[in-house]
Amino acid sequence: MAETIMPGGGSSESAITLSHPSSDGTPPYYLAVHYWWAYIHPRAVRLFERQWLVNLILCGNYHRLRDSALVELGDAVAGMTLQVACVYGDLTLRLSQAAQIRGGELDVVDVLPIQLRNLKAKLPALAPVQLLAMDSTALSLPDAIYDQALVFFLLHEQPVWYREQTLREVCRVVKPGGKIVIVDYASPRWWHPLRYLLAPVLALLEPFALDLWRNDIVHWLPSGVTLALRRKSFFGGLYQEVVIRR
Ligand SMILES: C[S@@+](CC[C@H](N)C(=O)[O-])C[C@H]1O[C@@H](n2cnc3c(N)ncnc32)[C@H](O)[C@@H]1O
């Protein structure tokens, strides 16, 4: 059931709702074991909610990747857009502004209430956004309700089963013909110096990320949804944007 949380406990004019239909806030094991320092610990949120820091972690590519996803989502923000998982920085704010201008609506799901509260604090009270406490692997949402969906740097954090299940769920809730935009790591070219520097760091801190160096994202898509509309490569191949037509 949707519970409307008023900003600062106040105004009844808030358009932002925070719902808890399917998550009790218990993080999946990979978040608790491998990513507590980035998303779960209260100090983590305070530390990482700095766009310059996120940009540094993405080797100066945050703005390019964010803007490319926003352009790709483009005019369809007039309809219903789903963002799967919160992200640090102003990506969601910009997406919600685009939706608001065009009369669209944005739903954001995340399994961690602390992340949803952090996102809520970044959005204006009247933003047309619903924040949904849900696990991406088991969305309590009807089939085919979204015109498009964005999955921004989530898949590399997930072990294979969770990654496949997330993609299955995203494909289920997006309308046939709708668009799914995925932005994430990919395999850097052989000459990329970071190929050799980053591999051990990722292996240590983000143990499932190197899967995306070894396999194409379509590898984890459910059968019948294999058509990549477009692909873009960024920064010597270290990052990719894959656009799928549902
Ligand atoms: C999108 S990812 C990484 C984003 C990127 N590092 C950034 O902040 O720019 C991080 C988010 O994914 C969420 N997340 C991870 N697994 C999830 C799942 N199974 N269901 C919903 N949200 C999940 C985490 O709670 C966190 O808020």
pLDDT at 231 over 70: yes
Cα 183 to averaged position of ligand 1 atoms, centre (Å): 13
Q: Which of 111, 137, 169, 212 to mutate to test the pocket of ligand 1 (most atoms within 8 A of CB)?
A: 111
Read off the pLDDT of residues 36-56 as tens digits, 9 standing for 90 and up: 999 999 899 999 999 999 999
DSSP letter at 95 equals H
Over residues 100-108, mean pLDDT: 95
Tokens of 204: 């240590």
* CA distances from residue 92 to 97, 127, 131, 200 in whole angstroms, order as listed: 8, 10, 11, 31
Residue 197 host element (H or E): helix 193-205
Q: Does the C-beta of 157 come closer than 6 Å to ligand 1?
A: yes
Over residues 88-110, mean pLDDT: 95
Ligand 1 atom nearest to CA at 115: 27
Tokens of 31: 């978040």
Strand partners, 132: 19, 109
Q: What is the pLDDT of residue 186?
A: 96
pLDDT at 77 over 90: no
Q: Quick check: helix, strand or coil at residue 52?
A: helix
Q: Does the C-beta of 187 come closer than 6 Å to ligand 1?
A: no
Tokens of 186: 């990919």
Q: Which of 31, 92, 132, 160 to mutate to test the pocket of ligand 1 (most atoms within 8 A of CB)?
A: 31
CA distance 84 to 91: 12
Q: Cβ(206)–Cβ(144) under 8 Å?
A: no
Cα 187 to averaged position of ligand 1 atoms, centre (Å): 21
Tell me the one-letter amino acid at 13.
Answer: E
pLDDT at 11 over 90: no
Q: What is the pLDDT of residue 246?
A: 86
Cα 191 to averaged position of ligand 1 atoms, centre (Å): 30
Q: What is the pLDDT of residue 12?
A: 35
Q: Does the C-beta of 149 come closer than 6 Å to ligand 1?
A: no
Cα 44 to averaged position of ligand 1 atoms, centre (Å): 13
